Structure 1
Amino acid sequence: MNKPLSGKVALVAGGTRGAGRGIAVELGAAGATVYVTGRTTRTQRSEYDRPETIEETAELVNEAGGKGIAVQVDHLVPEQVQALVARIEKEQGRLDLLVNDIWGGEKLTEWNVPVWEHALDRGMRLLRLAIDTHIITNHYALPLLIKNPNGLVIEMTDGTAEYNDQHYRLSLFYDLAKNSVLRIAKALAHELSPYHCSAVAVTPGWMRSELMLDHFGVKEENWRDATESEPHFIISESPRFVGRAIAALAGDQNAVRWNGQSTSSYQLAREYGVYDIDGSQPDCWTYIKEVQEAGKPANADGYR
């Protein structure tokens, strides 16, 4: 089997579940050694109080054909991140890909609540989890990544720069968090360029994360049942879709052409010819604009 990332070392920061897990698994399928970090292990749960663990993700990486290494890290604690990077350097001697997928704000966001009514402690905690973690991780990981050319940083967010520039994301705190990550990628692009490395901001579409599936009371196998209560869920995508898109980007010898850009799972999938696990290419962000926001009946024909 083709293993374009064989010999490559990746760190998926925030790989316990959701996009992080999907990305880690697909990087493994492409042959990479993948360090998977997060706060929830089989013996300790984070404030998320979810059952998914970093060990499970690492095992899925192994099953996919890569090498998964689970390391418990709170990315708000600089000493833990510093120790993680030191371990990667000692064990591998290099870092080719950093995926910053640390988030943790779903249970903190108060949707459609103005800033003066939103709980301040929850909002500030959200910003720390969404922004500070990425900055801390970049601070310690990038000196190792830039030792070799063609290093790549993926900053995971929600919404492309174009979409977010035109929309209020239903909460000042959420809006600021996701747009800040876009700017982090933009700034990193300038700082990494002299080292022939690059940074790209990537957003999935409406992703069928474990949390989202639970919200609708469905599993991946019967996810379409959720369209009975939310018809526009028909445009949703699995976490593996963005994983496959990023794995393809990481295997592109000319990935530097994406440096500083904001892109989506669909845009990458179309560029590299990859598909979701059901064989489709969901174009979520176009669908949202042309169908959902236009008030049209849910119909993904031509958008999958």
Structure 2
Amino acid sequence: MKSLHGKVALVAGATRGAGRGIAIELGASGATVYVTGRTTRAKRSEYNRPETIEETAELVNRAGGKGIAVQVDHLEPDQVRDLVARIEQEQGRLDILVNDIWGSEYLVQWNVPVWEQSLEGGLRMLRLAVDTHINTSHFALPLLIRSGNGLVVEMTDGTEEYNRQNYRLSLFYDLAKTSAIRMARSLAHELAPHQCTAVAVTPGWMRSEIMLEHFGVKEENWRDAASKEPHFMISETPRFVGRAIAALAADPKVSRWNGQSLSSGQLAQVYGFHDLDGSRPDCWRYIVEVQDAGKPADVTGYR
């Protein structure tokens, strides 16, 4: 069932990872999806990775939607303004905004005190995680409001409850991911009078392209990574959180979630979707009850 047929989505930061998974699943539900990022087949960002926005758009098309790739650096307000003007001209509406811009995996310094970290790298991380989202919301929300019942998703890492109780092993990373949750709360307040909804959503331990490379595996043999990290068995594909976003976007009562911090595993229990392998990994409950509790890795009852 094409539950999002006729809807227009912007997935900002859809070159790879969660953004790509979200774009594909919105397309699978019938949406027209604008996918943005800095890396194209003609030019790579400083990430110097092979994934491109054109690939993402093609995957959206293959899933049954319409993917439109637009090269945008969301740190540049003029580029974001032009993007939204193009969406308005071509579609006349915007129903779903997913702020997934990140681009900082290679900047994070884990378990390093702030006085020993790269100040330049840390401040750039905050710009990539915060300024980009604000730029995009600033220009896109007037168009989304006009469509009525619009949805804004701030992608992050960790639920509000988990991040409040746990230090995320890097001052800059901690601030970046907590900021996305607070932005969703603020946007929820500002959008409520316009019958629009804003939420923060976190995937679990996601098997992104970079994560798979880190463990030296591919999606086809990802379980082999458990020999290095047994808790990796709770991990999920980027499509799982994509299905979470598609479920939210198709929910006529999505406003019940306004301002809340949600996870892919939590939403799977509510909306009844599964990951590609048919499982429902509940990562954040597992992390609290098993991993952080120092128990042996055992995903029984958690996926």
Q: TM-score range by the shorter chain?
A: over 0.9
- Once the two structures are superposed, the pairs formed by residues 97-136 of structure 1 within 5 Å of their partners are 97-136=96-135
* Identity score, percent: 76
Structure 1 residues 198-244: Cα deviation after superposition (integer angstroms, max 9, x where no partner): 10000000000000001111111110000011100000000000001
**Over 6 Å off, 4+ runs:** none
Letter in 2 for 1:114: P
2:236 alignment partner AA: E
| Shift, 1:181, TM fit | 0.6
Alignment partners' CA distance in 1, 2:259 and 2:85: 27
Secondary structure (helix, strand or coil) at the match of 1:41 reads coil
TM-score for the superposition, normalised by structure 1: 0.99
**Which residue does the alignment assign to 1:185?**
184
Deviations 1:174-210 (A, max 9, x none): 0000001100000000000010001000000000000
Do structure 1's residue 12 and structure 2's residue 23 form an aligned pair?
no
Aligned residue number for residue 274 of structure 1: 273
Q: How many residues align?
A: 303
Tell me whether 1:285 sits opposite 2:284 in the alignment: yes
Q: Which residue of 1 aligns with 2:92?
A: 93
What TM-score does the superposition give when structure 2 sets the normalisation length? 1.00
Deviation at 1:140, TM superposition (A): 0.3
The code of the aligned residue for 2:87 comes to I
Is residue 2:51 matched to residue 1:52? Answer: yes
The reply on whether 1:251 has 2:250 as its aligned counterpart is yes
Q: Quote the Cα distance in structure 1 between the aligned partners of 2:292 and 2:194.
A: 42
> Structure 2: any 5+ residue segments left out of the alignment?
none
Within a 5 Å distance, the mapping from 1:93-242 to structure 2 comes to: 93-242=92-241
Q: Post-superposition shift, 1:294?
A: 1.1
The match for 2:42 is 43
1:243-282 deviation line (CA, Å, top 9, x unaligned): 0111011000111111000000011111100000000010
Secondary structure in 2 aligned to 1:147?
helix
Aligned-pair CA distance for 1:36: 0.1
SS at 1:76 equivalent: coil
The root-mean-square deviation of aligned C-alpha atoms, in Å, is 0.4
Q: Which letter maps to 1:144?
A: L
SS, match of residue 201 in structure 1: strand
DSSP 3-state at the match of 1:146: helix
Letter aligned with residue 7 of structure 2: K
Whole-Å Cα distance in 1 between the matches of residues 183 and 45 of structure 2?
Answer: 25
Question: Which whole-Å CA distance do the structure 2 matches of 1:69 and 1:24 have between them?
Answer: 10
Is 1:77 the counterpart of 2:80? The answer is no
Q: What letter matches 2:281 in structure 1?
A: P
**Distance (whole Å) between structure 1 residues aligned to residue 169 and residue 264 of structure 2:** 22
Tell me, in whole angstroms, the C-alpha distance in 1 between the residues paired with 2:49 and 2:147.
Answer: 37
